[in-house]
Amino acid sequence: MERRRLDQIAGLGLAAFSLLVYFVLIPAQIPEDRLGLSSRFFPRLSVVIIGGLGLLLFLKARLSQGRAGQELIFRLSRAEAVRAGLVFGLMIAYLLLLHLIGFIIATPLVLGALLYYSGQRAGRVFWPTIILLPAAVFAFFEYGMKIILPRGVVF
């Protein structure tokens, strides 16, 4: 995708986000008060700036369409986006697994999946990493820093 197109999408997205925050989130999440400037003032100011500049970004990208020589091509690869999405999915899964089965069981599973996915499949690196690293991190936090890592609700 071209940078110009991406900027148009980003500009419109930011404008839409600012409308949502201004008209829905701020009234719902911040009570009105009367002490000097309202608690809503600063969030509203930020949102107006975001929305205004977002529209400006959209217009600037749109108007640059016909200008030869200024067109910078920037590609957001779909394949890369899919791979990043998968890695992020694994990160979310790790969060859920930490809640369910705890650090000491979830970490080798997710670390193994990430290593395998990123192409590190050599046994002499893979197995020691997924076994020793979680154990070392667990020992460091639990015994060194006295921080209890997630235990999980299932086990």
Binding-site ranges for other proteins (CB under 8 A)? 3, 6-7, 10, 14, 21, 25, 29-31, 33, 35-37, 39, 41-43, 45-47, 49-50, 53-54, 56-57, 60, 70, 74, 76, 79-81, 83-84, 87-88, 91-92, 94-95, 98-99, 103, 107, 111, 114-115, 117-120, 125, 129, 133-134, 137, 141, 145, 147-150
Q: Which residues contact 89 (CB under 8 A, 6 or more apart)?
A: none
* Rounded least distance, CB 90 to other proteins, Å: 9
Tokens of 107: 């970490």
Nearer Cβ to other proteins (105/137): 137
Q: Work out how close the CB of 152 gets to other proteins at its nearest, in angstroms, rounded to a whole number.
A: 10
Q: Could you tell me where the DSSP H helices lie in the chain? A: 3-20, 26-29, 41-63, 78-101, 103-117, 123-139
CB atoms within 10 A of CB 111: 19
The least CB distance from residue 66 to other proteins, in Å, is 14
Positive or negative, the CA dihedral 130, 132, 138, 140 is negative
